[in-house]
Chain A
């Protein structure tokens, strides 16, 4: 679990993420059981609470096209302060940690599979002699390389899901709660 940074800590209270909205959360938990790994998830989704919190209240400066159901809320007197909340969260240690964990996994991961895939495609086009070299029976280097692409994809998928579940999910959820609580606090105070 990540330390909550001082600026966030002032307004965050412990255990909030487990105490709010029991009813909706239990229904969220129920939905989760359709998935394969439901029992591995120690905490519950706050999605229902997020709906209640209201997308439309969160933030935003003026929109040029108000008829479009906005991706963010409409402009309001509270907007500048809501903006500050996101800047504050972005600078917080807890968020920086989540972000660097995400990047430390994703950047080398993407580089690795793109290089491996590019090497495969380029070898298939420029070195057909190498790819056609037989290995066992009818199986040649090209077939093995193709199979290797399938296997590496499965492995990387598994590794990413595991990394995200163990290293990011809990911290991200805490941050989500803190951020929503902060934006709600800002808006509640102004209206």
Chain B
């Protein structure tokens, strides 16, 4: 590794940090610290702005680095991630976006708690949201770590840790100073940069093959050493039935998880109406869909031009395939073009991680302050200002937790880690959300059971899975308490979440309040009384 691209990448990244810090101070000048302002940015973003911000929140390092890396290593099986991530938006659009915008204020718990006994439901939903956010944050931190490892070479262990800490510190500054308004603008800037960079790389890949996709695919298949099998499913998940089930589990988690991600749900509150929320989703589906189509090209391009072996040597999980591809597209290591492209891609990936991390931190600090702290501590008679202060402190705490876990989970594939976060979101958040929006007879006990009945199995199954122990690639390879064969718990924990919600409702003495359901239904579909 030469010093040139490191310096340039650091310069570009510093420029991004400077611009975003500028945005943070600029948008937060003269703002009063109301909860409305901090959590929802005043609800005044336009659908297009919010659509870009949603895309920015969603197209994480996991997509940019992880999916292309998986495609470069395993061919078609990596592509399945992209399909799941995109189809998930139909669930969001059809069942969640408008209704949640109409019924809630800041968090998922608002929607559920409106119909139920508020305290237990808020505590449950808040806990689930924070758990999902922390898992997702860890994935981003791991992405930051592997990028730095690539930039600084294998010797940079300490520097890698410092970079993760630096990303964490920056995100805490953005979130605690700028709130939702600054975070949204950072997302927009980042989405534009990321899409611009991806388009440029895709064009370069296609130019290299003279626009012949067929030859791109064939070259990738040849270079991979798997031949035609590289272009068909099965290389990663096609072995025994355990790994096939694992894949189905992942597929379910991906498609159902997005609608339960707290940082995605909170984005719908930044626009004035449900119609604006719908139009932001339409924007983001367009952006996200095109982005995933391009990552497929980049993944096969990396397989064809860099080769799976070189990718694997650089990072066993494939997270560095795209930066290596950029180096090759620019003219190879040592050339000016390669150096510049590599630096740009690395800087964009850093920016991506930073922005996504800021979005998740904001959403989880909202859950801590608005749901957990407010329900548990009950500081009577204090103004909402103190809630924002709590949210700012929560952002710092969550940042520290994420940094620590990020350093621990350094060697796992980012896309895979995100798959776990999706599984937990789909198990703990989605059942309770759908039940409270659409089930007339849903009760408080049902809501609490639905959350915990999805959350605990999901977390427990991950702890007992080969990810944590019992196999060479796990977090603690030395010990073996692996009792659950699948890496992704979704196929078991998501039905359990729905089942627990149903059981809790059937077994509770409380009769669901007709009038409150009427209110939820009327408000969700018409927007009456929405803030």
B120 to A, closest residue via Cβ: A64
Let me know if B316 is at the binding interface, CB within 8 A: no
A71 B105 Cβ-Cβ under 8 A: yes
Cβ of B122 and Cβ of A180 under 8 Å apart?
A: no
Whether A67 lies near B380 (C-beta < 8 A) is: yes
Set B35, B49, B515: member contacting A86, Cβ < 8 A: B515
B238 contacts partner chain A, Cβ-Cβ < 8 Å? yes
A87-B518, A132-B232, A140-B232 known; A153 and B87 CB under 8 Å? Answer: yes
B218: chain A residues within 8 A (beta carbon): 137-138
Question: Quick check: B518 and A157 within 8 Å, CB to CB?
Answer: no
The one of A32, A110, A139, A183 that contacts B91, using a Cβ cutoff of 8 Å: A110
A121 to B82, CA, bound (A): 12
| Chain B hits for A84, CB < 8 A | 515
Indicate which residue in A48, A106, A125, A169 contacts B95 across the interface (CB closer than 8 Å): A106
Report whether B285 and A153 are in contact in the complex, using a CB–CB cutoff of 8 Å: yes
Distance between Cα atoms of A68 and B111 in the complex (Å): 14
Given contacts A99-B521, A143-B76, A176-B526, contact A125 B275 (CB under 8 A): no
Question: Which residue of A58, A89, A122, A138 contacts B221 across the interface (Cβ within 8 Å)?
Answer: A138
B90 touches A156 (CB 8 A): yes
In the complex, are the beta carbons of B518 and A90 less than 8 A apart?
Answer: yes
B107 closest partner in A (C-beta): A71
The reply to whether A45 and B273 contact each other, CB–CB distance below 8 Å, is yes
Shortest distance from the beta carbon of A133 to any chain B beta carbon, whole Å: 9
**Contact: A65 with B375, CB < 8 Å?**
yes
Of the candidates B117, B278, B516, which one forms a contact with A161 in the assembled complex, judged by CB atoms under 8 Å apart?
B278
Whether A78 is near chain B, meaning CB under 8 Å from some CB there, is no
Residue A12 lies at the interface, judged by CB distance under 8 Å to chain B: no
Q: Is A15 an interface residue (CB 8 A)?
A: no
In the complex, A126→B243 CA distance in Å?
11
Query: B86 interface residue, CB < 8 Å from A?
Result: yes
Q: Are B118 and A172 within 8 A (Cβ)?
A: no
B38 to chain A, nearest CB (A): 12
CB nearest neighbor in B for A172: B526
* Chain A positions within 8 Å of B110 at CB level: 71
Q: Would you call B247 an interface residue if the criterion is a C-beta within 8 Å of the partner chain's C-beta atoms?
A: yes
**Which of A64, A134, A138, A143 counts the most B-chain CB atoms under 10 A from its CB?**
A138
Report Cα–Cα, A132/B98, bound state, in Å: 40
Interface presence of A109 (CB below 8 A) = yes
Query: Which residues from chain B contact A117 at a C-beta distance below 8 Å?
Result: 83-84, 87, 251, 255
User: Given A71-B110, A131-B233, A157-B285: A31 and B272 within 8 A (CB)?
Assistant: yes
> Are A113's CB and B525's CB within 8 A?
no
Residue B387 at the A interface, CB < 8 A? yes
Which positions 478-531 of chain B face chain A at CB distance < 8 Å?
A: 514-516, 518-519, 521-523, 525-531
Contact, CB under 8 Å: A34 / B47 = yes
Q: Are A72 and B518 in contact (CB under 8 A)?
A: no
In the bound complex, do residue B522 and residue A179 qualify as a contact, i.e. CB atoms below 8 Å apart? yes
- Please state if B528 and A132 are interface contacts (CB–CB under 8 Å): no
What residue in chain A is nearest B387 (Cβ atoms)? A69
Contact for A160 among B83, B94, B119, B252, CB less than 8 A: B94
CB-nearest residue of chain B to A47: B272
How many angstroms from the CA of A126 to the CA of B233 in the assembled complex?
Answer: 10
Across-interface contacts of A45 in B (CB, < 8 A): 272-273, 275-276
Residues of A within 8 A of B527 (CB): 50, 172-173, 176
Closest to B515 in A: A83
B49 CB contacts on chain A under 8 angstroms: 34
Contacting residues, chain B, for A136 (C-beta < 8 A): 214
Q: How far, in angstroms, from A118 to B91 measured CA to CA in the complex?
A: 14
Task: Report how far A138 CA is from B76 CA in the complex, Å.
Answer: 12
Q: A151-187 vs B: 1/0 string, CB under 8 Å?
A: 0011011101100110011001101100110010000
> Which A residues from 114 to 136 make CB contacts under 8 A with B?
114, 117-118, 120-122, 124-126, 128, 131-132, 134, 136
Interface residue from B35, B80, B279 paired with A124 (Cβ < 8 Å): B80
In contact, B526 and A95 (Cβ under 8 angstroms): yes
B90 and A131: CB pair below 8 A?
no
Closest A residue to B250 using CB positions: A121
Interface hit among B5-13, B135-143, B286-294, B410-418: B286-294
Complex A-B: 11 CB contacts under 8 Å: A31-B46, A48-B272, A71-B111, A83-B518, A114-B255, A132-B228, A138-B228, A150-B289, A168-B525, A179-B522, A183-B528
Interface residues of B (CB under 8 A from A): 35, 43-44, 46-49, 76, 79-80, 83-84, 86-87, 89-91, 93-95, 98, 103-105, 110-111, 113-114, 117-119, 122, 214-215, 217-218, 221, 228-229, 231-234, 237-238, 244-245, 247-248, 251-252, 255, 272-273, 275-276, 278-279, 281-283, 285-286, 289, 292-293, 296, 370-371, 374-375, 377-380, 382, 384, 387, 514-516, 518-519, 521-523, 525-531
Query: Could you list 19 further interchain pairs (A-B, Cβ under 8 angstroms) beyond the known A90-B522, A183-B528?
Result: A34-B48, A36-B48, A65-B378, A71-B113, A71-B118, A86-B515, A86-B519, A87-B515, A117-B84, A121-B252, A124-B80, A132-B234, A137-B217, A142-B76, A157-B282, A157-B286, A160-B90, A172-B526, A180-B529
Top 7 A-B residue pairs of the complex, sorted by shortest distance between their CB atoms? A34-B46, A132-B232, A179-B528, A83-B515, A138-B217, A121-B251, A90-B518
